[in-house]
Amino acid sequence: MTTLTLEQETNPWEAQAARFDYAAKKLNLDQGIWKVLRYPTREIIVHIPVGMDNGSVEVFTGYRVQHSIARGPAKGGIRYSPDVSLDEVRALASWMTWKCAVVNIPFGGAKGGVICDPKKMSQGELERMTRRYTAELIEFIGPEKDVPAPDMGTDEQTMAWIMDTYSMHTRQTCTAVVTGKPVNIGGSRGRREATGRGVSVVCDQAIQHLGMSIQGCRVIVQGFGNVGSNSAKILAEKGYTVIGIAEYDGALYNRNGIDIVALIAHKKAAGTINGFTGAEAADKDELLTFECEILIPAATENVITSRNAAQLRCKILCEGANGPTTTLADDILDDKRIFVIPDILANAGGVTTSYFEWVQDRMGYFWTEAEVNQRLDSIMTESFSDVVAYAKSHLVNNRIAAYMLAIDRVAYTTKQRGMYA
């Protein structure tokens, strides 16, 4: 896996494909199935006209990539960011297939994205863009086809607009078309915090597995959005000491622990973590290399690369974000014996509770938050054990173990269904 050029190193699709090929080879995967699973099933590109507030019309480019429907409807988030590219969406769609298989829920994988800067758009512009994007995809999404969810730059409100637009077109309220909705229109209790909760569960498991203690366990989190802030909040509630938070525009450090609830309130009011008085300002890139027990990248891809991996001083790297670590960095982390909880396991709490939301919508019967959390905890605990046991029995690292486990499950189903080829 060390033959990648630097340019390939930061291409998420190449990074995904390199891990897939390595794991498929280890599995001795049948050549035909290898080719089928390596590429997405369907890639849709749309150019969306949007009436802007100043009276002009802007055209945004959007994607939806469905990687696999072998194990169930395609499932995956929608990202709004200026950096969205087809290769990124392809990689994220494949990761969704592997993630759903790691936690053994009946979904395939998909992802969507629109190239835009949501921070610079009004609510009205975002709503019009979301509705037109949904309308362009109308025949490709649906509870039995492809079920979107929030990702970077999108939230519960975005999902409510998608649900409403889809329902207007199909002439009936259809809540199960998306997950991550507000609770009063078919959302699941616990979904908002689910990815962070899942991150906290696998951290608990890793601590136990490595014979460490929560007491005095220092955590640094990059990204203070949905995943980062909820991971930090739940870990702090469990007794971990969150000593550092990095955002795109600055970072905070307090060796005695940051009051996460107060920081969430500060960010809500100020729109940034900067200016928070309960911690000192730090360099956002250097913070990742500060000494800690657990480092949680929970922002975006390619933040741990061959350029900074050697400087990391954590014992556990728990990947809240998708694709935060490049393949070249993987080798360095292996050499440093850092215990990696790979993204397709660590952040699977979100899609697991999305699965619960889809089930509840289809039943029309809603669970208590305690029921949701208890079911999530047991799936994350079991999946952690599966991956660690697989790594041990196949003498591979946790990331390759997670890929092998997932590919094995998807390949098995593909064979069982038979190929329409």
Candidates 217, 262, 265, 267; CA nearest to 238 is 217
Q: Is 43 helix (H, G, I), strand (E, B) or coil?
A: strand
Cβ-proximal residue to ligand NAD, closest one: 225
Q: What are 316's strand-pairing partners?
A: 294, 339
**Known catalytic residue: 111?**
yes
Number of residues that bind ligand NAD (CB under 6 A): 23
183-208 burial by CB neighbour count: b if 16+ within 10 A, else e? eeebbbbbbbbbbbbbbbbbbbbbbe
Rule CB under 6 A: is residue 320 a binding residue for ligand NAD?
yes
In this chain, which stretch among 30-38, 65-73, 208-216, 314-322 interacts with ligand NAD, using CB under 6 A? 314-322
What is the bridge-based pairing of β-strands 42-51 and 218-222? Answer: unpaired
Asked if 243 and 258 count as a contact pair (C-beta separation under 8 A), the reply is yes
Interacting residues with ligand NAD between 247 and 306 (CB under 6 A): 247-248, 298-300
Whichever of 228 and 414 has its CB closer to ligand NAD, that residue is: 228
Number of H helices, E strands in the chain: 14, 12
Residue of 75, 99, 111, 181 marked catalytic: 111
**From 65, 116, 227, 279, residue interacting with ligand NAD (rule: CB under 6 A):** 227
Q: For 188, which DSSP code?
A: P
Kindly state the DSSP code that residue 309 receives in the 8-state scheme.
G
Asked if 222 is part of the footprint of ligand NAD (rule: CB under 6 A), the reply reads yes
- Work out how close the CB of 42 gets to ligand NAD at its nearest, in angstroms, rounded to a whole number: 20
Q: How far apart are the first and last CA of the chain?
A: 31
Based on CB atoms, which residue is closest to ligand NAD, 300 or 373? 300
Q: Taking the alpha carbons of 193, 86, 410, 343 in that order, is the dihedral positive or negative?
A: negative
Q: What x/- string results for residues 334 through 373 when contact with ligand NAD is judged by CB under 6 A? A: -------------x--x-----------------------
Stretch that binds ligand NAD, among 64-72, 242-250, 365-373, 391-399 (CB under 6 A): 242-250
Based on CB atoms, which residue is closest to ligand NAD, 29 or 312? 312
Residue 186 binding ligand NAD, by CB under 6 A = no
According to DSSP H, which parts of 53-155 are helical?
86-102, 123-136
Binding ligand NAD (rule: CB under 6 A), the pick from 108, 113, 187, 225 is: 225
Residue 56 Cβ vs ligand NAD, minimum distance, rounded to whole Å: 26
Beta strand 316-318 pairing with 294-297: parallel
CB 245 within 8 A of CB 221: yes
Please name every residue paired with 250 in a beta bridge, in sequence order, or none if there are none.
247
Beta bridge partners of 57: 51
d(Cα 405, Cα 387) in Å, to the nearest integer? 7
CB 309 within 8 A of CB 289: no
Residue 144 CB, shortest distance to ligand NAD, in Å, is: 22
Residue from 91, 152, 234, 405 in contact with ligand NAD (CB under 6 A): 152
Q: How many CB atoms lie within 10 A of CB 218?
A: 19
Contact segment (CB under 6 A) with ligand NAD among 36-44, 199-207, 218-226, 368-376 equals: 218-226
For ligand NAD, the closer of residues 274 and 413 by Cβ is: 274
322 binds ligand NAD (CB under 6 A): yes
Q: Which stretch binds ligand NAD (CB under 6 A): 139-147, 166-174, 226-234, 379-387?
A: 226-234
Tell me whether residue 27 or residue 380 sits nearer to ligand NAD (CB atom). 380
Q: Which CB, 283 or 335, lies closer to ligand NAD?
A: 283
What dihedral do alpha carbons 195, 197, 203, 204 form, nearest 10°?
-160
Stretch that binds ligand NAD, among 22-30, 149-157, 164-172, 200-208 (CB under 6 A): 149-157
Please say which residue, 50 or 299, places its beta carbon nearer to ligand NAD: 299
Q: Which residue has the tokens 């041990």?
A: 392
As measured in angstroms, the least distance from the Cβ of 218 to ligand NAD is 19
φ, ψ at 298 (rounded to 5°): -135, 40
Just list the catalytic residues.
111
Residues that bind ligand NAD (CB under 6 A): 150-153, 195, 222-228, 246-248, 298-300, 320-322, 347, 350
